[in-house]
Structure 1
Amino acid sequence: MFETIENIDGALVYHGNMHNRIYFTEADHVDLDTLLPKMKELAKEKRYEKILGKASEKGVDIFKSKGFTVEAKIPGLYNGTIDGYFLADYTNQKRLINDEKSMKTIATVKTIAKAANKPNTDSYFGLPVDLSIKQLSKSDFHLLEDLHKKAYKYHPHQIKDVSYFSKLEKLNHEFYGLYKNGELLVSAILDVNTEEANVEIVDFVTHPDYRGQNLSYFLVQNIKKQMDKLCCKTIYTMVRATSYGLNITFSKHGFMLAGTLVNNCVVRDTLESMNVWYFKGV
């Protein structure tokens, strides 16, 4: 399994050795005074270096009292009215350290991406005639797995497979793909939360032969058009903080920067900080 997914005291918890991290999302009915010590105990047991939690503003003070600090904030993440926060606790303080080169790159990416930000009224770029976008179903999961195998050929431990996609589908995830001449070139996975009226774009994968062509732009454009259908008021995503392309793409689509999650996950064998971007529907 790519990552263990389980429900602990009402919170959805993702954890595993690949990212050496716990990531969990809490809901209104979760007792944080009980949950947070369990997360710390799980981290100690599994020797995870970081615990990341997504919570509403109502739980922030409890998180802080348990040693967590805010790394990102999304205004109105919950139903368009209640702010959402990403809070982190580090069981290994070395996990917080970034070398000077990475810090400079992250700062430069933020500056350039913010400068590319455009309002919602900016021009719509039509999908090229040789490209098409469709929502994927379970019968397409083998294509998703094949795309992962091509994208992560030299990093097989990061390949998500059909069984993992099936598990995500049961957790209200949707799948979209961009095709050219019948071949899947780019995929996106959405975590749809109708109770909170938000959607997270949790995964973008691009065929290695088509990287650098900014094809993800058209998928993001399509996902924004799905907001009413998905009953969401906010879209958010986490992007590698050193990636000029995706950070600029989201900024061009009117997404705003919410903050940076320090050394949050492993991408192609490299521990990466992640910028959080969000878009509010009109």
Structure 2
Amino acid sequence: MNQTASTIYIEESNFNLEVYLDPFNKRIRVDDYRGNTNLVLEKAEQLARQHQAEKLIMKARVEDTLPLYERGLQPEAVVDRYFLGSDAHFFSKFYTVERKKNDHWITEDGMIQSIYQLATASDKPLPPKEYELKKADETCAEELAELYRLVFQIYPTPLHDLEYVKKTMQEGTIYYVFFYQGKIVSAASAEVNNFYKNAELTDCATLKEHRKYGLMKIILRELEGELKRQGIYCSYSIARSLSFGMNAVLYQLGYHYRGRLMNNCYIYDKLENMNMWVKNLANC
């Protein structure tokens, strides 16, 4: 099967469907839909079988959730105000026993409890003056790809490829980076959905030797400011459930835990659970 992810659009007489085919992560995701929900689900399951997906994910509106339960999908997470102010409910269905098994769930529950005990205001002093924060452009694509190669053995999107990084920029993804001695040492992006006015803060990476200065928190705040300037107030981020540091950063920035996506994608060095964190930027 082709390992390149793609988005397909299906228009039938009683429904429309936008589906993200993700063969690398052995999943498909319904990103948007209109019309007859039962027919939408029927088509989505047909595509899951056709593409031998192990997991089906659907971003559902609250009024459509009961038919999802009837077809065996389960709720995993919520993003407040995702659809132009209306909540998105992430539902999933698993197609293999292995994809539904997990050994880390209880540990990750404990981590969330620990994070909620942290003080929310734990700002560090600004990093040394050798660190320079900048908005990245296409000239940074090669260095960004190299950073992601160094930090992640495996990543759910092909950020190791500079052409892919350039393509995301051309499609509206915003990157901010920290330079140290002329080299990018930390980066993150905001993947903007201009139609529904939401953004996912993602692609967070800092080289190990530069992690003590709180660079990521500064980058994420800068991205939030950029989103607010564009009139986008629904900000969410999906963090590796086993990464205490990244989950703690999001909590301390005022994000709220909204669920966990089981065995969601291949990242870092294996298939991992991912925690959902959400923030309403209109409140800050």
| Offset of residue 110 of structure 1 | 0.6
Distance of aligned partners of 1:25 and 1:117 in 2 relative to their CA distance in 1, 3 Å threshold: farther
Distance of aligned partners of 1:159 and 1:240 in 2 relative to their CA distance in 1, 3 Å threshold: same
Provide the C-alpha distance between the structure 2 equivalents of 1:159 and 1:37, rounded to a whole number of angstroms: 33
Which structure is richer in relative contact order (CA contacts within 8 A, separation 6 or more)? Answer: 1
**Cα deviation 1:76-120 (Å, max 9, x = unaligned):** 23333x111111111113312112xx22320221111122262xx
Distance of aligned partners of 1:159 and 1:84 in 2 relative to their CA distance in 1, 3 Å threshold: closer
Match of residue 67 from structure 1? 72
| Offset of residue 52 of structure 1 | 1.2
Distance of aligned partners of 1:230 and 1:181 in 2 relative to their CA distance in 1, 3 Å threshold: farther
SS at match of 1:146: helix
Provide the C-alpha distance between the structure 1 equivalents of 2:170 and 2:36, rounded to a whole number of angstroms: 24
Which letter maps to 2:111?
V
Task: Give the conservation status (yes or no) of the 8 Å contact 2:5–2:24.
Answer: no
Q: Aligned pair count?
A: 274
Q: Which has the larger displacement, 62-71 or 190-199?
A: 62-71
Task: Give the conservation status (yes or no) of the 8 Å contact 2:185–2:206.
Answer: yes
Within 5 Å, give how 1:48-197 maps onto structure 2.
48-80=53-85, 82-99=86-103, 102-116=104-118, 118=120, 122=121, 125=124, 127-128=126-127, 129-152=129-152, 154-155=153-154, 159-197=159-197
Provide the C-alpha distance between the structure 2 equivalents of 1:98 and 1:213, rounded to a whole number of angstroms: 34
Structure 2: stretches of 5+ with no match in the other structure: 11-15
SS at match of 1:228: helix
Q: TM-score, normalised by structure 2?
A: 0.85
Structure 1: stretches of 5+ with no match in the other structure: none
| Offset of residue 48 of structure 1 | 1.5
Provide the C-alpha distance between the structure 1 equivalents of 2:131 and 2:224, rounded to a whole number of angstroms: 18
Which of 23, 40, 45 does residue 40 from structure 1 map onto? 45
Q: TM-score, normalised by structure 1?
A: 0.85
SS at match of 1:127: coil
Match of residue 269 from structure 1? 269
Task: Give the conservation status (yes or no) of the 8 Å contact 1:212–1:245.
Answer: no
Provide the C-alpha distance between the structure 2 equivalents of 1:172 and 1:31, rounded to a whole number of angstroms: 31
SS at match of 1:226: helix
Provide the C-alpha distance between the structure 2 equivalents of 1:26 and 1:125, rounded to a whole number of angstroms: 40
Match of residue 7 from structure 1? 8
Task: Give the conservation status (yes or no) of the 8 Å contact 2:8–2:21.
Answer: no
SS at match of 2:229: coil
Identity %: 22
